[in-house]
Amino acid sequence: MFQAVFSVVLLSLFAGAFGLQCNSCSNAPGSANNCSSPVSVTCSLANSIQTQSALMGYFNTSIDSTSTDFQCMSLNTSVTTGSQNTSIQIEGCVPQSDDVCKLSVFTFSTEDRKSCSTCNSDNCNNFDNNGGTTPSPSGEVTQCYSCDGQDDCQNPKVETCDYNSALSTVTKLLGDYNFDIASYIQKGASKSYSCYSANISFDINGLSGVWNPLIYKGCIFEDLSPCSFNLTNGLTQNVSSCYTCDSNSCNQGSTPSGGSQGQCYVCNSYPCLDEEVVNCDQEQVNATYDILRDLYSNVPEQGDSDTFQCLSLRSKYAVTARKYLGPIPVYLKGCVSSNFNVCDLQVNSLATEQRSYCDQCNGELCNSNVNAPKKNATIYVEM
């Protein structure tokens, strides 16, 4: 009997010694470990209850005092009650069954959540220098901002990525895009996820001016590229922004956070049927500017921004010096610096232009639409 009890105690000790480790901290009053210098702890019932107790001060939740199966969590938010605003940062161990990122604040409070994530590898719940959370060491995306519609996306919430949340995003897109979801699921959906963000308007041919908006954020399967899905027959689209990104909570704004540079279509030929996909960087921007300098005045020698946009330009260009040359069709797609507006450029002196459209957009492959609507277009510019 004594030997059996001893074995149980020994197994418990080893389970604690080799259990999941999480960063632990809280800026709640009385906390010994501030989140500017979190400590690493081996998850146990005691420190799980400690983390849950910190959450109970602001959220509708209760304490699970029985679970011994844990996960790491990280929360960065602010809660306003009356005239008092409280900044909250909490990291620690919680029960595996707790969906802490879906907790709601008390009815008399409001919340402005910056990030929340749960993960299942040692010390995966790190705050980055901006107060957000970094991905787990494997680079796995575990949470994304989630909203549906203009009003909802004014204050998007954070959701934990899983099969159901990713499937929900794909299902949302099926009305506007042709995608064989049944075949994809049958072949085996990815078990890894990306964050998705879109602000797109759709127009049914023949109903000019009737635009149906898609304003949406959520998790999506990592191996899908929703921004390049084929449109349903009869639809055209106006893409304000569309991208996927691969770090936790990277889809809050109209451009991906966390230094993501994005991808754009690139081509320089009529009618742009041989376009390719590139990762935007300074070299790609400079290549676009080299082409633009043959057409326009005041084009920079090189880009000077770390963030990029996709350019789509369709025009007819004519040279009137000495002997008329033109019109020459111009189809151009590529990467440009986000702080330089190509669509405001004027043609070189002694040249004319008939521009069909020019558009700079934010997001992965957002310059995919050959029939993009006119934007910032200058018709028959003559110097």
Please report the pLDDT score of residue 383 as a whole number: 25
Residues 96 and 27 reside in one and the same domain = yes
**Single residue among 204, 230, 259 that ends a domain in this structure:** 259
**Single residue among 138, 155, 184 that ends a domain in this structure:** 138
Residues 332 and 378 reside in one and the same domain = yes
In a domain, 174, yes or no: yes
Please report the pLDDT score of residue 108 as a whole number: 83
Residues 67 and 103 reside in one and the same domain = yes
Q: Which domain holds residue 67?
A: 15-138
Domain count, the chain: 3
pLDDT digits (tens, 9 = 90+) for 335-383: 988 778 888 888 877 778 887 778 887 766 777 654 333 333 222 222 2
In a domain, 6, yes or no: no
In a domain, 90, yes or no: yes
Spell out the SS3 assignment of the chain. CHHHHHHHHHHHHHHHHCCCEEEEEECCCCCCCCCCCCEEEECCHHHHHHHHHHHHCCECCCCCCCCCCEEEEEEEEEEEECCEEEEEEEEEEEECCCCHHHCCECCCEEEEEEEEEEECCCCCCCECCCCCECCCCCCCCCEEEEEECCCHHHCCEEEECCHHHHHHHHHHHCCCEECCHHHHHHHCCCCCEEEEEEEEEEEECCCCCCEEEEEEEEEEECCCCHHHCEECCCEEEEEEEEEEECCCCCCCCCCCCCCCCCEEEEECCCCCCCCEEEECCHHHHHHHHHHHCCCECCCCCCCCCCCEEEEEEEEEEEECCCCCEEEEEEEEEEEEECCCCHHHCCECCCEEEEEEEEEEEECCCCCCCCCCCCCCCCEEEEC
**Single residue among 221, 242, 259 that ends a domain in this structure:** 259
User: 135 falls in which pLDDT band (50, 70, 90)?
Assistant: very low
* pLDDT exceeds 80 at position 288: yes
Residues 96 and 146 reside in one and the same domain = no
pLDDT over 90, % of the chain: 7
In a domain, 301, yes or no: yes
* pLDDT exceeds 50 at position 73: yes
User: What's the rounded mean pLDDT across residues 54-74?
Assistant: 86
Please report the pLDDT score of residue 169 as a whole number: 93
User: What's the rounded mean pLDDT across residues 111-127?
Assistant: 79
* pLDDT exceeds 80 at position 200: yes
pLDDT digits (tens, 9 = 90+) for 222-254: 888 888 888 888 788 887 778 888 777 888 876
User: What's the rounded mean pLDDT across residues 135-147?
Assistant: 69
Residues 337 and 371 reside in one and the same domain = yes
pLDDT digits (tens, 9 = 90+) for 8-37: 333 333 333 347 888 888 876 555 567 777
Residues 97 and 197 reside in one and the same domain = no
User: What's the rounded mean pLDDT across residues 298-316?
Assistant: 81
Residues 113 and 156 reside in one and the same domain = no
pLDDT digits (tens, 9 = 90+) for 161-179: 888 889 999 999 988 888 8
Residues 207 and 278 reside in one and the same domain = no
In a domain, 39, yes or no: yes
In a domain, 3, yes or no: no
Identify the residue with better confidence: 190 or 148: 148
Residues 292 and 378 reside in one and the same domain = yes
In a domain, 5, yes or no: no
In a domain, 9, yes or no: no
Residues 339 and 285 reside in one and the same domain = yes
pLDDT over 70, % of the chain: 78
Only one residue has tokens 């960087």, namely 281
Residues 253 and 291 reside in one and the same domain = no
* pLDDT exceeds 70 at position 137: no
User: What's the rounded mean pLDDT across residues 63-84?
Assistant: 86
User: 216 falls in which pLDDT band (50, 70, 90)?
Assistant: very high
Please report the pLDDT score of residue 148 as a whole number: 93
Residues 31 and 94 reside in one and the same domain = yes
